[in-house]
Chains A and B, each alone.
Chain A
Amino acid sequence: MSKTIGMTQKRDIVVTENLQMIYTVGRVEVPALRGVDMTVKEGEFVAVMGPSGCGKSTLLHLLGGLLVPSAGRVCIEGVDLASVGDAARTELRRKKIGFVFQRYNLLPTLTAEGNIELARRIHGNGHGAKLDVRDILGLLGLERKLGHKPSEMSGGEQQRVALARAVINRPSILLADEPTGNLDSENSQMVLQMLQDLNRKYLQTIVMITHDPDAASMASRILEMRDGRILNRVKNLYYAIEPTRG
């Protein structure tokens, strides 16, 4: 694996324009996003920070095609999710997006290997580059947990399995919703380090939502949100060296 110093031309993976989301609760309209404009380039590791209720999770769900925006555009690799149907959003989610959740969200009836295999099966055979289940579990230090069910693993281990599941199909973008929110500091650090490794080694594009400034500091760029808007963009100096695909 090699690293190159200096700027390289990167394509846009995520582009949002005036992205708005309004929830209707009874007769009351509650705006969650009030016009978000953002761009994430290939290979970027972007952290989105902000207080509870500022619209971070809604933004992540919109980026993942789990929600349809009330107005504006959200494009993933050029496909506007607002203008396509449910089936197309599902297809895009299957082929291009990986999710990591705060609560791990592993299927309790399946083993670690089973959870990852399931993601591969849903993705389908022969579509794009994929990682080997054992390789990825090895990379995440989970070789000995292959046959374990979520209830037999610690939170940190579960989150690493969730991470493996999210990247097994080499998605264009990894969306992480407070991935360290339920972990102790040691496991948090481990998971964050893995995210950074994935970003650096495999040029994995990552958008991570977090409350934790330490977690955000692992990203190449930090976006701060408040009241449904992005306030400013912070360049993280940690990422002075541009990552390249390994």
Chain B
Amino acid sequence: MLKHIYANLVQRPTRTLVSMIAISIGVVLILVSVGLSYGQLNDAAERTRRVGGDIMVQPPNASLFFALNSGTLNERIRKVVEEVDGVESVAPILAKFISDKFHLVFGIERESFEKVNSTLRFVDGQIFETPDEVIVDTMYASSGNLTVGDELELLSRKFKISGIFEQGTGARVLMSLDTLQEMNGTPDKVTMFFARVKEGASVDEVFERIQKRMPSYKITKTSELQEVMSSTAPGFRQFLSVMVFVAVVISFLIILLAMYTTITERTREIGILKSLGASKTYIIQLIIKESLLICAAGVMLGFVLTFVTIQLILVTFPTMPVYIPGLWRVAAASLATGGGVLGALYPAIKAAQLDPVRALGYE
């Protein structure tokens, strides 16, 4: 049967190729969406967690995706957090999203940041000393071929790079809080506070105290960031569901169309098979296996195209985090194949039910 299926596919190379490409588009759609979404999510969670501190305080209804927030938290609130029993230090941070390069800049207060943070490691240079200095992470530096002492233009202002730190902490670029507040036009405003709990104090208890003291504010334990982010990311699940749905529908429709036209073209062949004594099951299997082969080839092509697409994205946006969980690769392959097989089912049943005499007389 495989020889027959292979011969059928080779006989109509254009249709086979178009079907494969359509299936692969579904796979690319799922994997690239997942890769970008999970990449952003994991990266944001990990970077935020590595800023340090145990508890994060944000304004009411703020998003954990800092790119969606601006400076709306009054700096004076810091005092309220510091007064909570068990809090050792509080670091205010202003986050600013640089849309043309698709990354975040954090404005930090050097002294308080160093108190809550323990992960910032310099590979070259040192932290900024003046308002015109910034530090950048290794990925940002390598993507822009930047070294310490180079000039960097951000938001129409020129800075000097004073240090390069290992990527993974906070944002790609860190600068003085005052400078960023001034550039953002939001003096005395920040995006969030990171609070470090005193040694020996319970994070859970301090967390509850802050919640009690500031009931309308968004309080998050940094240890739970990843989990909270994936469950509260705006439209994250819905977005992925839509992508999956679209991919499955593409697979379903393209295989339905391909197999439907195939059996219409091959009506006479099906009549011949029936005259040879091929059962309905045999004919259904033939069509389904043919679609399975197209889907399998389409999935393979999809994996290759996903790799190429991601490389293109990384060339365009070198700092863009991409992460495709292994299970999603399996899911994308299964969903595209499942959609294809479902699409082949109706034509297969229709073929199996053809009247052999009419099929043999089909021109």
Contact = CB atoms under 8 A, between A and B. Distances in A.
Interface of A: 61, 64, 66-67, 86-87, 90-95, 97, 99, 101, 105-110, 114, 117-119, 121-123, 165
Contacts of B99: none
Contacts of B330: none
Contact of A123 (B269, B272, B277, B360): B277
A114 B3 contact: yes
Interface of B: 1, 3-4, 7-8, 10-11, 268-269, 271-280, 282, 356-357, 360
Contacts of B277: 90-95, 97, 122-123
24 contacts: A66-B275, A66-B357, A66-B360, A67-B357, A90-B274, A91-B277, A93-B274, A93-B275, A93-B277, A94-B278, A94-B279, A105-B268, A105-B271, A105-B272, A105-B275, A105-B360, A106-B272, A107-B7, A108-B11, A109-B7, A109-B8, A122-B276, A122-B277, A122-B278
A107 B4 contact: yes
A110 to B, nearest CB: 5
A90 B357 contact: no
A32 to B, nearest CB: 11
Given A91-B277, A110-B4, A118-B276, A66 B356 contact: yes
A105 B4 CA distance: 15
A66 B273 CA distance: 12
A91 to B, nearest CB: 7
Among A91, A95, A121, A123, the one with the most B-chain Cβ atoms within 10 Å of its Cβ is A121
Contacts of B357: 61, 66-67
Contacts of B276: 93-94, 99, 118-119, 122-123, 165
A121 B1 contact: yes
Given A61-B357, A87-B279, A109 B11 contact: yes
Given A61-B357, A90-B274, A122-B278, A117 B268 contact: no
A66 B278 CA distance: 12
Nearest to B359: A66
Nearest to B358: A66
Nearest to B356: A66
Nearest to A113: B3
B275 A107 contact: no
Contact of A122 (B3, B269, B273, B280): B273
